Amino acid sequence: MTGLAVGGLADSIDPDASSPLTWVGLGIGYAALAAGPSAGRWYAGEGRHALTWTLVRGAGISAAGGGIYLAFDAYDDDRALVPGVLLAAAGTVAFTVGLYWDLADAHRAAHRANRRARQTSPSMTVLPVPGGAAVTLRSTF
């Protein structure tokens, strides 16, 4: 949802998208919208799955946006209306499937990560605390 917030903020500040910063804000928003649902997969150590579904969602967002542009803004006449609507529909389906798969399987990914963590040997790790001069000691058994 952070991606929607960033994109909405960028659009509300500059609705005509005349500033390069607006395009940067929209790009960050769309990237967060595509990659955000896979954040737990990265954390759980399932990088290939996270990358695959992030690319599916990113392609879906791109296809939906391109289809909307093609259908309504690319030409003055209606010759691209049907292909644009079909492209937008296909992109929306791809995004929705990618979102559903990551959200529906998230609890199983957490269980798999926990199972892998239990199977590791005991270890002790020293971790720096972000933004501070402290150190955290973490151990697994």
Please write the tens of the pLDDT for every residue from 96-139: 998 888 888 877 888 888 888 777 656 666 666 676 666 666 66
d(CA 32, CA 61): 11
d(CA 66, CA 112): 37
Radius of gyration of the chain (CA): 21
Give the model's pLDDT for residue 29.
82
Average pLDDT on 69-82 reads: 81
Question: What is the residue type of 105?
Answer: D
Tokens read off for 5: 């917030």
Q: Is 17 left (phi over 0), alpha (psi -120 to 50) or beta?
A: left
